[in-house]
Amino acid sequence: MAFFLSMTLHVAGDLPLHREDAHAHFFPFTDWHYISPVSYWDPAHFGAIAGGLEFLGVGVGSVILIRRGAPWHRIGYGTLALYFAFAVFAIQYWAT
């Protein structure tokens, strides 16, 4: 249930947050790409705000899962660990 809920939330948040990297969300039904005015990563297109909100959402969601207890706390801790690992990678990648 948590997996499908997270996928639904991802799809709902994915569509309005892609600019240069927009992809066909409704493939194979259409090749249409929605070019959003907002980017989840590009500061020139509100990326700092969108990224900050994503960071906040992942943190709050993870804490909620951790506080629910077993077995949900494993998912919350796993999410935080993967998100932290990605953040370290992204900072190192963009710093070069």
Domain ranges, ordered by start, for the chain: 2-95
**pLDDT(9) > 90:** no
Q: Which residues lie closer than 8 Å to 41 by C-beta, 6 or more apart?
A: 47, 50, 51
| Tens-place pLDDT, residues 44-92 | 999 889 888 988 999 999 999 999 999 999 999 999 999 999 889 988 8
Helices (H), 1-96: 2-14, 47-68, 72-95
Vertex 85 angle, CA 81 and 91, to 5°: 145
pTM above 0.75, yes or no: no
CA 96 to mean position of chain CA atoms? 23
State the DSSP string of 29-41: T-------S--SS
